Chains A and B, each alone.
Chain A
Amino acid sequence: MNPFSSGTRLSDMIRAIRASKTAAEERAVVRKECAAIRASINENDQDYRHRDLAKLMFIHMLGYPTHFGQMECLKLIASPGFPEKRIGYLGLMLLLDERQEVLMLVTNSLKQDLNHTNQYIVGLALCALGNICSAEMARDLAPEVERLLKFRDPNIRKKAALCAIRIIRKVPDLSENFINPGAALLKEKHHGVLITGVHLCTEICSVSSEALEYFRKKCTEGLVKTLRDIANSPYSPEYDVAGITDPFLHIRLLKLLRVLGQGDADASDCMNDILAQVASKTESNKNAGNAILYECVQTIMSIEENGGLRVLAINILGKFLSNRDNNIRYVALNMLMRALTVDSQAVQRHRATILECVKDSDASIQKRALELIYLLVNENNVEPLAKELIEYLEVSEQDFKEDLTAKICSIVEKFAPEKIWYIDQMLKVLSEAGTYVKEDVWHALIVVITNAPHLHGYTVRALYRALHTSCEQETLVRVAIWCIGEYADLLVNNAGMLDLEDPITVTESDAVDVIETAIKHHTSDVTTKAMALIALLKISSRFPSCSERVKSIIGQNKGSFVLELQQRSMEFSSVIQKHQNIRSSLVERMPVLDEATFSGRRAGSLPAAVSTSGKSSLSIPNGVATAPLVDLLDLGSDDTPAPTSSGANFLQDLLGGDLMQPSAQPGMQPSQAGADILLDLLSIGTPAPVQNGSTNGDLLSMQDNNAPIASLDTISSTSPTASSSMMDLLDGFGPTPPTSEDKGPTYPSIVAFESSSLKIEFNFTKQSENPQTTDIVANFSNLSPNVYTDFLFQAAVPKFLQLHLDPASSNTLPANGSIKQTMRVTNSQHGKKPIVMRMRVGYKINGKDVLEEGQINNFPRGI
């Protein structure tokens, strides 16, 4: 005999497991026992099979693999004795997984046992079938179950009814066979049969609408009578719970009545009286009674309208809500949630109590109450409710803050009566729980801020104040940095003061201070730091006096290990140092971000769309309609729309990547929108608020300076990954634009545009190896005796063309003089479609803006 197979007794094993002090010891015991069980299985040891399986169940419960015992279950089931079968079936239900092969093997045993003469064995088989039946078994064994529904012993009938439920769930088509037997069970007196019969009928109703009709017609009255009998029945010790006869049966009956009454006035009518009786007569001082009341209220709320009953139900909920037992309050909140769709006015009356529940110490109740409050908020009550919730945010538990913050942000956004209120509330949330504010939420805040020009000053000052008190809230820091970068001038001048505001004195260097703190703060992540760098760049242009300091702060990041920061600081440093003439237009204030586009885009990824009051699309100062520019908002965030989030893309975005690729609009017509975007971005034609004398001076000195701009090679050598678009843009600042040297086919020059004051000529050259690409040198001639300053030429082309515009040789066009600008056009449809181009020229005569537009269609053929 195998030394293991004698093994230990079950109780010995349990003792050994209990005695183990560590998990490792327990594992060792289990391993030894499993080895013994395997050995015993291999020897086909009949005597110990029963005990082995009991051990395996225990081991299984502890969470160890026991699949090797599955075949033992089958052997035990096939053995003749009741105790073996008993443990075999139990093992089957506990140990078996969904592997079909093993289940198929058991079908035959099950069928035999379902027809066994011993009713206890029949009961065992039914129980097992009810728990593990697969669709295939359902089809095979449904007739047996149907037959057993009429078996003489009620204990078999009740199990057969539950088997039928499993069968219907697996194969809904079989439900037809069970309608009549199911209806017959509803007339039974035995509680077990009745409760399972009611359950079976509920199940059938959920899969077949015909069956539902049938039960409505034939059984509603009977069920009402059964419920009345039970509710009125004298004390029966067997089923009594706290003075109520069988609350479980009560509840099941109420559930079925709910299904029958829903959407059917006649059936609802039929059950009104008994529901009223249950709702008013049931004892509510014990849990059992409350369970029935709870179910009854649910039924009253679901069936067809009856005013009196509804009032009764709402009153019960009110009583529940003021109960001191947390369980009762929990179900009351749960139920009020469902009642909201039926009678929201009644629920609103309990608002104050529900709000108290949000502040409960019990997490389950808090969660329920918060969800309910969230649904109760509307335009009329948003202000007090938001106030309460935000106040609570300060003292709430950490675990709860995330949920609470998300809900507050959502309601504040949805129901804000005015923008200033929205901004105020959001600032409070950001200062209190900024860490929990989701990305799209603070993006939305920025969109709203840009759309409220009269609040820019107020907002930036409020953010500045908040930054001093809660500088550890990352999101607050980001929003504040963004706003300070954009509206630094408003911060310092106290511009646009509102009456309710206290004036503050902020110097230019104070503004730089806060950003410097943010960039150096240990909690700031890359995104925040990157945003801070942009803000600094913008400030350097707004406050020339701080330029040097900004340069040194930016310079400190040149050695950053984070590529993104290193690259940004490299690029920005060179912008500040060498390209003062473009700096001011480069860091122009962001155009207004379109709310509709943003919310539309957001709705794609989020169920809750943004809708703020004041939908009217605001136009930007230069009178051009706002074009979708939402992508720009993503500048500093990680989810830049471009596939890579390198600095190159960023800068391209900042400068308007559209400069090279006008926004996609189908058709040949060069898109007007594209041109608008360009205008928006660079704000051509509007004097930038900070473009004061000193920058003009810079521009002039630039113009006089004939020496080539310091070579950009220094940049490219120190930062090999530097952005190409940056290079392209700045490269052209040399006095002589690069001209094509190779001898491609020649084309005649054209006069692209001519007006009384300006003439534009295009000269073409083509590289012979690349017929798609054409280099164009534009020659702008001033036909008037005035000097044109701030001269800017823009061009837009259809989608199939790619346009690359180099900077002009100068941005000042002397009287009767001329300047040159090079561009490169790549025609992806070369030979099929000719080049077309729309252009716009802006310049100033004695400080007065002039804008000229035109379309160029006379390109030579074959380009």
Chain B
Amino acid sequence: VNLQHKEEEVKTQRSESSEKPKEKEKSQFEELRSLKMGIRFILMVNKQGQTRLAQYYEWLTLEERRALEGEIVRKCLARNDQQCSFVEHRNYKIVYRRYASLFFMVGVDDDENELAILEFIHLLVETMDKHFGNVCELDIMFHLEKAHFMLEEMVMNGCIVETSKANILSPIQLMDKAH
């Protein structure tokens, strides 16, 4: 009986010790949220407000993402061409640009250079154009993973990595050749 007790004690101790670092991890994660991290997310949405590509650089739950996307899309799609490309929403600033039937939306921190993000969206579209040849909604839908690969070459952890179209596309072209 004693032995069993001891075992149980050891077990509870273990579970305690394994919980502690988790808590620490969580608080660190929350700190990270408050830290500036540049680009928070990139969305591509069609005219009907359906998401066609979503990349988040901070963790949000499924529900949070759905709600956020819904709110942003509603706000941005309601604006007209004469209005500026920036919308403040919650603690984000959304920089968006419309190309034909596709909206490109980038969520950034408050102190990010909005004009530069606008330029970045253009670079992204140009890169996709170069690869797909006049990119459209269907290209992105049916080649979702490629669109993601391109994005990964351009942005990591919310920071811009590469701005040369040739450099961005070379790994993707290599992979296409291998197939």
Q: Which residues of chain A have a CB within 8 Å of any CB of chain B? A: 10-11, 14, 18, 54, 57-58, 61-65, 82-83, 86-87, 90, 93-94, 97-98, 100, 120, 123, 127, 130-131, 134-136, 155, 158-159, 162-163, 165-166, 169-170, 191-192, 195-196, 199, 238-239, 241, 246-249, 251-252, 287-288, 290-291, 294-295, 326-331, 334, 361-365, 367
Q: Are B84 and A327 in contact (CB under 8 A)?
A: yes
Q: Are B113 and A291 in contact (CB under 8 A)?
A: yes
Measured between beta carbons, the chain B residues less than 8 angstroms from A329 are: 84
Q: Are A330 and B86 in contact (CB under 8 A)?
A: yes
Q: Are A90 and B152 in contact (CB under 8 A)?
A: yes
Q: Are B163 and A249 in contact (CB under 8 A)?
A: yes
Closest to A134 in B: B25
One digit per residue, 1 when the CB lies within 8 angstroms of any chain A CB and 0 when it does not, for chain B 20-58 equals 011001001100100101000000000000011111010
Q: Are A98 and B160 in contact (CB under 8 A)?
A: no
Measured between beta carbons, the chain B residues less than 8 angstroms from A136 are: 21, 25
Measured between beta carbons, the chain B residues less than 8 angstroms from A155 are: 162, 167, 171
Closest to A195 in B: B160
CA A61 to CA B159, docked complex, whole Å = 22
Given the known interface contacts A61-B51, A327-B118, the answer about A158 and B123 at a Cβ–Cβ threshold of 8 Å is no
Q: Are A90 and B65 in contact (CB under 8 A)?
A: no
What are 24 A-B pairs at a CB distance below 8 A?
A: A18-B141, A64-B62, A100-B25, A131-B57, A131-B157, A136-B25, A162-B161, A163-B156, A165-B159, A169-B35, A191-B162, A191-B163, A195-B160, A199-B159, A246-B163, A247-B116, A248-B116, A248-B120, A252-B160, A288-B115, A290-B115, A327-B84, A328-B115, A365-B84
CA A86 to CA B175, docked complex, whole Å = 10
CB < 8 Å neighbour of A120 from B54, B88, B145, B171: B171
Given the known interface contacts A62-B51, A90-B145, the answer about A326 and B156 at a Cβ–Cβ threshold of 8 Å is no
One digit per residue, 1 when the CB lies within 8 angstroms of any chain A CB and 0 when it does not, for chain B 142-162 equals 101100110010001101111
CB < 8 Å neighbour of B83 from A93, A191, A247, A364: A364
Q: Are B87 and A364 in contact (CB under 8 A)?
A: yes
Given the known interface contacts A57-B145, A169-B32, the answer about A248 and B59 at a Cβ–Cβ threshold of 8 Å is no
A-side binding surface: helix, strand, loop or mixed?
helix
B130 on interface, CB distance cutoff 8 Å: no
Measured between beta carbons, the chain B residues less than 8 angstroms from A330 are: 84, 86, 114
Q: Are B86 and A327 in contact (CB under 8 A)?
A: yes
B15 on interface, CB distance cutoff 8 Å: no
**How far does the Cβ of B104 sit from chain A's closest Cβ, in whole Å?**
14
B174 on interface, CB distance cutoff 8 Å: yes
B164 on interface, CB distance cutoff 8 Å: yes
B6 on interface, CB distance cutoff 8 Å: no
B11 on interface, CB distance cutoff 8 Å: no
Number of A-B contacts (CB under 8 A): 165
Indicate the member of B148, B149, B152 with the most A CB atoms within 10 Å.
B152
**How far does the Cβ of A262 sit from chain B's closest Cβ, in whole Å?**
14
Measured between beta carbons, the chain B residues less than 8 angstroms from A123 are: 171
Closest to B50 in A: A62
Q: Are B148 and A90 in contact (CB under 8 A)?
A: yes
Given the known interface contacts A63-B66, A287-B119, the answer about A82 and B86 at a Cβ–Cβ threshold of 8 Å is no
Q: A18-B141, A361-B82, A364-B87 are in contact. List 5 more A-B contacts (CB 8 A).
A: A54-B145, A135-B28, A199-B159, A248-B120, A248-B160
Measured between beta carbons, the chain A residues less than 8 angstroms from B53 are: 61
Measured between beta carbons, the chain A residues less than 8 angstroms from B123 are: 241
**How far does the Cβ of A631 sit from chain B's closest Cβ, in whole Å?**
37
Closest to B57 in A: A131
CA A222 to CA B164, docked complex, whole Å = 23
Given the known interface contacts A58-B144, A61-B144, the answer about A162 and B157 at a Cβ–Cβ threshold of 8 Å is yes
CB < 8 Å neighbour of A159 from B148, B156, B175: B156
Q: Are A159 and B57 in contact (CB under 8 A)?
A: no
Q: Are B116 and A251 in contact (CB under 8 A)?
A: yes
Q: Are B178 and A327 in contact (CB under 8 A)?
A: no
**How far does the Cβ of B175 sit from chain A's closest Cβ, in whole Å?**
7
B5 on interface, CB distance cutoff 8 Å: no
CA A64 to CA B54, docked complex, whole Å = 13
Measured between beta carbons, the chain B residues less than 8 angstroms from A367 are: 88
Q: Are A86 and B174 in contact (CB under 8 A)?
A: no
Q: Are B116 and A295 in contact (CB under 8 A)?
A: yes
CB < 8 Å neighbour of A65 from B22, B62, B156, B175: B62
Measured between beta carbons, the chain B residues less than 8 angstroms from A163 are: 156
Measured between beta carbons, the chain A residues less than 8 angstroms from B142 are: 10-11, 14
Q: Are A239 and B82 in contact (CB under 8 A)?
A: no
Given the known interface contacts A57-B144, A330-B86, the answer about A130 and B116 at a Cβ–Cβ threshold of 8 Å is no
- Contacts of B43-101 to chain A: CB distance below 8 A: 51-55, 57, 59, 61-62, 65-66, 69, 79, 82-88
**How far does the Cβ of A19 sit from chain B's closest Cβ, in whole Å?**
13
Closest to B114 in A: A331
B179 on interface, CB distance cutoff 8 Å: yes
**How far does the Cβ of A96 sit from chain B's closest Cβ, in whole Å?**
9
B166 on interface, CB distance cutoff 8 Å: yes
